[in-house]
Structure 1
Amino acid sequence: MLSSRNILAIIIAAASVTSCNKKPLDLAPVSSFGVQADSMNASHDGASYSLGSPATFNFTGNPVAVTFYSGEIGHNYIYRNRTSAAGISRLIFTNALNAGTQANSLHVMLSTDFKGVVSSRTVVQGVVTANTLVYDSAATQANIAAASWIDVTPSKLATNATAVTDTIDLSTYAAAGKKVFIAFKYTAQAGSIQNKWTITNLTLSNNLSDGTIYTIGNLGAYNVPIVNYGGTTFSPGWMAFPVANTYNWTITAGTSLVITGAATATDATSNAEAWTFMGSIDLTSVTPDMGVAVKNITTAVAPFKYLYPAVGKYDAVFAATNLTAYTQDTTTRKIPVVIK
């Protein structure tokens, strides 16, 4: 079955052919499109089905494209363009102290004005070496120092190798369109074994009042897909940077963040400081709701069946579109559906 994007591409291609021929496609007005469920109630303003029985929808008219929004979570027509919604922003991660006993060596930090790590790709004879980053240390340290950092470290981090899972509510810092950086700051002192920290199972989510949970950040690399209710967004990724000494965070994409300081007191000849950053990211982000393409320019009108997986009330919406090189016409038809 073709996706909504593929359908749009086919429609545009058909419109372009029409434009070249200077003859508009002979399409009926989209207003002639109609939908009726096979189990309409007496007033014909809704339909009801028993759980396990598919809803069947019959069409009239012949639009170029029809997209179906079931009304389930993640598939509501009214949220098809929504990218932001107020909710509770939660950062959840598991941490373990695998070596060392130095106090206060790990902090979770947040900034709304950090300008990021300054880096560039290595260029050899005019060719970019894609996987080699060159840091501008002075500029990056200046950005870290100039930023306003808020310490949001939870009160009970791990005290040994027994992992602890912490949840931090970041809702106070969430505002639509206002992006933040989240960082783990590591510090270590000279003279004793320096700590080793392991961070795993990290998710940053926007939790809405209707029970939907949108993952908006994790340990995935930059631009690795994150799927929410069938819709796709992308991880903001992580970047590590040592400020003092050479000890730095090791980022294993999708798995962990690990930092190891001096393994012996003899090796701990100087202090260490290193940061790893995720961002920038809008804490109010959500993934737009998705529809299912049920008809395109290459297919004929046919009954459409859909099996709802749970008891409930749903607003099924069909969005129909006609498009030529000269006009575009879109309409929707809504049928309330009850699954008993």
Structure 2
Amino acid sequence: MKKSINIMSVLLLFAFVFQGCEDFEEVTVPNFTVTPETATAKVGEPVEFMVDNAPNFLQFYAGDFGHTYKHRNRTNAEGTVTMSFLNSQKWGLGGNASGTLSVWYSRDYDGSGTPEAVSNATWTEITERFNISTLYDFTFQESGLVDITDLADGNTIYFGFKYFSDNTEDRQPEWYFDELSITMDVEGAPAPLTVASKKEPGFTPVDVLGIESSFNAAKWYFDGGKDHWRMRGNSHKIVNEDWLITNAINLTKVNPDKGTPLKSFSEKLESFTHIYETPGTYTVTLVGTNTTIHGSQETVKELTITITE
């Protein structure tokens, strides 16, 4: 009888420990609340949000431009795509005073940056869409905000800024190039979405004729002191062809909206603030997560706040 009692005691203890382990491994569903101090605020005023029973991790989507929860996974969009850049030139003489810079695009360039790849690619000229500088004082001229939506088909495209002169009688010009901007106007967005800029995805210069020259002459190079691309003037009377080519661009690709992490596992959070810069009604989204080595549970909550002038 005593032996049976001992066996039962062991079994009960084992069951208790097993149940305790199950309870320990269970990850609770976040049950937090976030309450704005006021449902209506003014532009430029800090809005305070009170947090009760904060989860292990909390992420905040303010609902303003670039921080909308519903666009957190958006990597492609449809809209009006525009392109612009700054350009200027000087020192070209005679027949080289104009017409040495042109704009092209290619869908089959391989992006390798070799003269052979540039020569073998199919390039379509679109120079006539842009304002190419005819000034003669290095004052940057705007290309104009040009609609290139017709080129946005979801595939990779490259833009090439081609310098070419086969006039060996007159001095060739020097060009400055800066502030490439490709943006997309999307319905419902208060500002254009950035598709490409002068640093993202960047450029590759290609000297097609392979002219070797000291002091960065007769080729495109990035002038760190001036912080823009430069084609230094050449007075050596040579046939010259040089390309400044963007790295691969997808004209429909956009950056996903991002949330703001408010706390990590070990941090306490009772309140936080956010400032809205534009009037409107915003859907604020809070994503709370409880995470351990045994799993993760998530709760998404929404609230609305109105911002006035």
RMSD of Structure 2 on Structure 1 (CA): 2.6
Question: How far 1:314 moved relative to its partner?
Answer: 0.6
Question: How far 1:291 moved relative to its partner?
Answer: 1.6
Distance 1:60-1:217 versus aligned 2 partners, 3 A rule: same
Establish whether residue 165 from structure 1 lines up as the match of residue 180 from structure 2: no
Question: How far 1:143 moved relative to its partner?
Answer: 1.7
Structure 2 CA distance, aligned partners of 1:305 and 1:241? Answer: 49
Alignment of 1:1-340 (within 5 A): 24=24, 27-30=27-30, 32-39=31-38, 47-50=39-42, 54-100=46-92, 101=94, 102=96, 103-118=98-113, 140-153=114-127, 154=129, 156-162=131-137, 163=139, 164-167=141-144, 168-176=146-154, 178-189=155-166, 190-209=168-187, 210-220=189-199, 235-244=200-209, 246=211, 247-252=218-223, 255-263=227-235, 267-268=236-237, 270-340=238-308
SS of residue matched to 2:83: strand
Gaps of 5+ in 1: 1-20, 40-46, 119-139, 221-234
Distance 1:50-1:200 versus aligned 2 partners, 3 A rule: closer
Q: Which amino acid aligns with 1:69?
A: Y
Mapped contact 2:75–2:254 kept (Cα < 8 A): yes
Structure 1 CA distance, aligned partners of 2:165 and 2:157? Answer: 26
Structure 2 CA distance, aligned partners of 1:197 and 1:52? Answer: 42
Gaps of 5+ in 2: 1-20, 212-217
Q: Which amino acid aligns with 1:143?
A: A
Asked which structure has the greater CA Rg, the reply is 2
Spell out, residue by residue over 1:308-330, the C-alpha distance to the aligned partner (whole angstroms, 9 max, x if none). Answer: 34432111111011112232211
Spell out, residue by residue over 1:238-274, the C-alpha distance to the aligned partner (whole angstroms, 9 max, x if none). Answer: 21111126131122358222223532xxx31x42111
Question: How far 1:107 moved relative to its partner?
Answer: 0.8
Question: How far 1:148 moved relative to its partner?
Answer: 1.8
**Stretch moving more, 319-328 or 299-308:** 299-308
Q: Which amino acid aligns with 1:250?
A: Y
TM-score normalised by the chain length of structure 1: 0.71
Distance 1:59-1:201 versus aligned 2 partners, 3 A rule: closer
SS of residue matched to 2:208: strand
Question: How far 1:111 moved relative to its partner?
Answer: 1.0
Mapped contact 1:96–1:199 kept (Cα < 8 A): yes
TM-score normalised by the chain length of structure 2: 0.78
SS of residue matched to 2:133: coil
Q: Which amino acid aligns with 2:198?
A: L
Structure 1 CA distance, aligned partners of 2:234 and 2:275? Answer: 59
Question: How far 1:97 moved relative to its partner?
Answer: 2.1
1:4 corresponds to: none
Structure 1 runs of 4+ with >4 Å offset = 21-27, 50-54
